[in-house]
Structure 1
C-alpha cells in the first residue's frame, strides 16, 4: 500500500551489564495511507518502550546464545478522531552449536504480536501486522500472509511466526542452510488458531564476508494458494534470517 509519512522522535536507550538493553521515548507520525483505493490521514503520538536481552556472540551471524526482545507501544490519535490503541511485539531466538568442525548450528525463532483498543479498520494500515518475506515466512511474497482483500494484504491485529534453521559452514567463506518457516497474521487481537498456518521450506547458501554473511535463499510455499502464491521465491540479503 502507498503511504507518505512525516515523523519525529526522541529515544533513549541504555545498556545494563553486557546483555540487557532498555529503551524508551516519545514519537509522533503524520501519515497519508492509501489502501484499496481509499486515502486516510492519521496523526499518532506514541510512547515506545523496549526490553532486549542478548547473549549471542555475533549480531549478523550468531552461533550460540539467546535473544529476547519485548516492545510495547501505546498510540494516541491527534486528529480529533479519538483513536487510541496499544501494540505489543515479542521475539525469541535461540542458537545451539551442534559441532565445531564442520560448524553446524541449529537456530530457532518465534514471534508474537498483538494490538488492542481499536478495530483493525481504525488502525492505520502501516501500523498493522504483516507476515511473509525473507525475514518472516519464506516461500511467500512480502507481506502476503494474512488477511487479504482483492488478493491484496490488509494487515492484522495479531501475528504469530515460528522458524527453524539448520546452518553449516563448510569452508571459511561458504555455508549452507535448510529451513522451515510458519505463521500467520489475523484480524483479531489474538491469533486465530482456526485458520491454518502458512508454511514455507527451502535451502540457501551463505558467503561469509568481514561484515557478515551474504544470504541467498530459495523457498517454496508448502500450502500454496492458487492465484495468490508463486511456486517459489528467491531472497538475497546481508546477515542471517534471524
Structure 2
C-alpha cells in the first residue's frame, strides 16, 4: 500500500475520521507515516490545550494607536493583499508548515495577551531620594522598610514598602518631619499590605521635611500625631 495521504493523516490526528484496516496496518509498519501521524497529533493536542484562548477579544484600539505613535506608521494596519494559493507542499513540508502555523498562532496569542499590559505599564520614574526605614526602639517591633521619592510629570510621590508591622486596631499614618523644628506634615495612610504610593504636596521642601515617620493611630478624630512612631528613616538623594 502506498503512503497515507497527508490530508488523511491530518483528519486521523484530529479524530475526525477512523482509520480503516489497510491504513492501520500500513501506519503500524511504516516508520515515516507513523512519525507524521504522531507529529500531527502533538500539534492537534497543543491546539486543544489552547482552545480556551480561541475566543479572546481583539486588543483594544489603543494598542495599535500606541504602536503607531511609537513607530510612525499609519493609524490602522494596511489590509493584507490577496495572494494566489500556493501548490500543495510535499508530505513532510506540509506537516512542518502545520507545526509552524500552530507555533506562530501560540506566539500571536501570547503577544495579544501581553501587549495591553506592557503598553499600560506606567513609565519608569526617577528616584529623587531614598530612606531606609527602621523600627523605633521604643516600639519594640521587627518592622522595616524603605521609602522612595519618585519624580514624574504628575508631581513627586512617596512610595513605601514596609514589612513586619504589628496588628493594630487603628491604622498607620505616614508623616514627613522637619527634624530641626519638629514640624510635620501628614502624607497619607499606609494600608495593611505595607505597599503604598502617596502623592506629595507640591509645595513641600524635602530638604527640610526629610524625616519619614510611620505612626500607629486610632480612630479617635484627632488628626495630630499620636506620639506612637513605629518606623523612621531620613531621606537622602
Compute the TM-score of the two structures, normalised by the length of structure 2.
Answer: 0.20
Please say which structure displays the higher CA radius of gyration: 2
- Could you say which structure has the higher strand fraction? 1
Where is the helix percentage greater, Structure 1 or Structure 2? Answer: 2
Relative contact order higher in (CA < 8 Å, ≥ 6 apart): 2
TM-score, normalised by the number of residues in structure 1: 0.20
